Structure 1
């Protein structure tokens, strides 16, 4: 009896399963050059990229909430991994890569379990575009040497590219022709129906020409290392290679993958209308990395290009990316021996073409026109990505995003004066710089009151100096949590009002905030400060505060001898 529901489910899903199996094949074929090229960025045998293109989509696809997202190699993650392993001995790099991938996977799973998905929105769009633009330029410059067959020296990718250009005698003509031929194929097929397999054609055709021409000067994949035949087997990490730089590099990879994955989820909504869960996708990408690491692969993440291809070729459910991974396993079993003869300049061409294609010139122009804050963010992150290790650039980008967020919140804070218009309505006016004597004003605040915002509030509140017996009603409706800085600013302003013989009234105060003010003992809510807690009727507590303030002001004027 238990088998009947299974059979019914299989019958109902048969059209989807057939479509997903078919959709997985072009995804696997296009992953061959992508995976190999990603491994080149890391500086390891291209077979490690192919292993990741098998394990990542299968393991990640089983657990992702964004069902069409393909979790596979990405150029940004590969470049970050390569930067983290740059000081590792080439003989130890494959083992170190496995360890780095596993650590990154654990970090992603922990981020998902801790529900850190909501914090990806704090990474500024300007910072992310600056970082991705820097990644693209680094890939372009870093592959000039492989494209031309020239030896290059330099501390970073741009310096190596300049070294090749300034020493043209080092260029190997057969290598250059093979690379340019691959670029020509990529450009020619990019706007045709063969675009999904364009990269594969760009590897095969120039490589065949190189072999037939006997151009032995052209580097081959097998020159990087021996290509193991057959399918990958699980392997355990070498913990002796664990180091601080490896851990920080893995965390940088995790940060890049998680932010990129969030963008992929937005671009590939579920067909059934269900909402993706960022934290579940974090976990899925972590699981994909654990699988990739155990099968001797490199870091993986939500791929924009592969996910878009999955949608284009008709993928319907999570089984489409899973089938792509299984098709890759078939390709490895049948053709892994052929991988070694691929000409390295063709892989460089694939990376250069992808790097140029990923430049978002329209978004760059828009960001550069939106003001100094965005300009500083994008330029700083771009330059950091060019000249610093990727881990440092990621850390700088995240820090810069948070600083810009705080700075913008502080700059956006605005204090306005509210004047009653009758029938419980208010009109809004710019707040004056100084308080008038023997009068009541009602103030409202727009913007964040955390940290710098509180200090900005203190600077923008009307100055009580020189005034006699001023009364201020400060509206705080909707403020449920504040920090110590706000409490200090409030206490200082209340003290300044008290010195001028005035009083401070707080209206619309949340009950929890009122209790916090009482506990701090910094604000005397039983003396110079009166608190009116918020009620269900908007504006009611403010009207009560204004009425009491004016009653106090009238009584004070009556009791003042010179009035």
Structure 2
């Protein structure tokens, strides 16, 4: 890094004198709310709750220093925790933390590589319906999966819905004291939601029932320390063990990276920079990757741009990136002073926090809008939602994306329309539906609306006017605005040109972009047919099509 670039980077990163106090104060509510959020995320991931706290310390510091969206808080999220938990579910319990750290580091590396490769623009290809279906499925999974913990029941089942069904069919498994503590936490969360202490409602919902359980000496109620010892003090950096690597872990890291990057892109849109400078999605990819690398090295779990923590950061008066950084520093102080008390938290209260957050994350308005939009959006959302309930997260996201892509390609093929342009005496063209058959000794100028990739090209083949029975028909096919086409489209053009040639006619291509001209000549499929002529596009709209039309008329009259 040159001296000038280093100076500009330091200027962007160092706290400003006028905002440092605001950011210092704004970071504290985030750190406090990060205690229940981080512990709950660890419950979803199936590891000791302290690892969520470690991630809530390292992620905001590493991500906050490097993100282009300066108010975004990079910390634990339910979707990332669920994806990570799905990836390590088959790992023996004693080896699961090590596998989680390695998964977090691999996911961080993938995010950094995605940012360096400038893949930020590809987040727009993830359909809104797939993301809503996935996030709704994640919320439902959290509710179903945490119901047994809410009532202290030891249930069995291969996935969250099956565990909830086991509880429903065996209600005697519930522990009365744990159930009372969990329901008390839920009541507190609802009651405090619209009060001045709403930002601390999750922490209060953990503390009050846990204190009551401790005072009543209810030994049957599961606590956080039952899942493993809670070490005091700050974590030391540890390199993950490569022997924990597996291909299922790699697939899980890809799933975590995909979920985190898409969610992060949504967070950056919802939290614009105070000075109105545009966020750089590639830089945010790198920032989330750095947050995960740091979290993994400090024995934490995956992190990403958090919708809830970012909203809290903004509402607490954050002025810049250091609010997120201070949130991580405050968390370090909490770990240093109060880590030992974390073990006394009742597990059913964590379940209550997760259930409340999951229900609050549901977006019924967005779901209804998608259901009213059309069949493709409906199928994409519902199928992704159902897949998330029954399949591993990586498979559910992949299925939703593949199905959405297939439906979109099918819709593009259906939406393709071929029209005829008839030149007017005074200039310009009149548009009308293209005929089913071509006339003899006549020039037909055609334009195409819709995609010509994949199935779209084959749809065009079936909708082009039929030259069978015509004598010397000429077709001018207008391609303006298309920079590149696939091999299927060129095969369709060549086939149509041959059919026209068999009838004694010709195919002219007009409005062809210079880049496509080179592509056609490299392809050597279209130009090998006798009589094919190409008219390159000019700055004047319709000029090359008119030239092609006039050239075709001259050829017919020659």
TM-score, structure 2 length as denominator? 0.96
* Counterpart-to-counterpart distance in 1, 2:15 and 2:33: 30
Displaced runs of 4 or more, over 4 A: 8-12
Bigger drift between 345-354 and 497-506 goes to 497-506
Residue 60 (structure 1) shift: 0.6
What secondary structure does 1:373 align onto?
helix
* Alignment of 1:505 onto 2:496: no
The answer as to whether partners of 1:123 and 1:402 remain within 8 angstroms in 2 is: no
Kindly indicate whether residue 211 of structure 2 is the aligned counterpart of residue 211 of structure 1.
no
Structure 1 Cα separation of the partners of residues 456 and 194 of structure 2: 51
Task: Specify the alignment match of 1:360 in structure 2.
Answer: 363
Q: CA RMSD in A?
A: 1.9
SS in 1 for 2:317: coil
Find the aligned partners of 2:320 and 2:13 in 1 and give their Cα distance.
Answer: 14
Distance in 1 between residues matched to 2:79 and 2:130, nearest whole Å: 14
8 Å CA contact 2:13–2:66 kept in 1: the answer is no
The CA deviation at 1:21 is 0.5
Is 1:418 the counterpart of 2:427 in the alignment? no
Cα displacement (A) at 1:11: 12
Q: Using the alignment, how far apart are the partners of 2:442 and 2:12 within structure 1?
A: 75
Are 2:87 and 2:249, in contact at CA under 8 Å, matched by a contact in 1? yes
Equivalent positions of 1:167-178 (< 5 A) are 167-178=170-181
- Separation in 2, partners of 1:193, 1:532: 69
Are 1:413 and 1:447, in contact at CA under 8 Å, matched by a contact in 2?
yes
Q: Measure the CA separation in 2 of the matches of 1:238 and 1:516.
A: 49
State whether residues 102 and 293 of structure 1, in contact with CA within 8 Å, keep that contact through their aligned partners in structure 2.
Answer: yes
Quote the residue 1:312 is aligned against: 315
Q: SS state of the match for residue 270, structure 1?
A: coil
Change (3 A) 1:525 1:548: farther
The equivalent residue for 2:330 is 327
Partner of residue 301, structure 1: 304
Q: CA deviation at 1:397?
A: 2.2
CA distance in 2, matches of 1:281, 1:10: 14
Which residue of the partner structure matches residue 276 of structure 2? 273
Which 5+ residue runs of structure 2 have no aligned equivalent? 1-7
| Paired position in structure 1 for 2:125 | 122
- Matches of 2:71 and 2:12, distance apart in 1: 20
Change (3 A) 1:9 1:351: closer
CA distance in 2, matches of 1:349, 1:314: 28
1:20 to 7, 23, 30: 23
Q: Is contact 2:509-2:533 (8 Å) kept?
A: yes
Structure 1 residue matching 2:476: 3-state secondary structure: strand
2:52 corresponds to which residue? 49
Give how far 1:215 is off: 1.3
Deviation per residue, 1:21-64 (Å, 9 max, x gap): 00000010011000000000011110000000000000011110
Task: Find the partner of 2:392 among 367, 386, 389.
Answer: 389
Distance in 2 separating the partners of 1:252 and 1:10: 30
| 1:558 matched residue in structure 2 | none
Where 2:373 maps in the other structure, the secondary structure is coil
Q: Distance in 2 between matches of 1:11 and 1:97?
A: 32
* Matches for 1:41-440 after TM superposition, within 5 Å: 41-440=44-443
1:457 aligns with 2:460: yes
Unaligned runs of 5+ in 1: 556-563
| Residue aligned with 2:30, SS | helix
Shift, 1:498, TM fit: 0.9
When structure 1 is superposed on structure 2, of 408-417 and 458-467 the one drifting more is 408-417
Counterpart pick for 2:557 among 554, 557, 563:
554
Equivalent residue for 1:470? 473
How far the C-alpha of 1:112 sits from its partner, in A, is: 0.8
In the TM superposition, what is the alpha-carbon distance from 1:424 to its structure 2 partner? 3.0
For the residue of structure 2 that corresponds to 1:13, the secondary structure is coil
SS of residue paired to 1:240: helix
Q: Is the 8 A contact 1:150 1:172 kept in 2?
A: yes
Aligned residues: 551
Q: What TM-score, normalized by structure 1, do the two folds share?
A: 0.95
CA contact (8 A) 1:435 1:464 kept: yes
Structure 1 residues 11 and 469: alpha-carbon distance in aligned structure 2, compared to 1, 3 A threshold: closer
Taking structure 1 as reference, are residues 10 and 487 closer, same or farther at Cα in structure 2, changes over 3 Å only? Answer: closer
What displacement does 1:525 show? 6.6
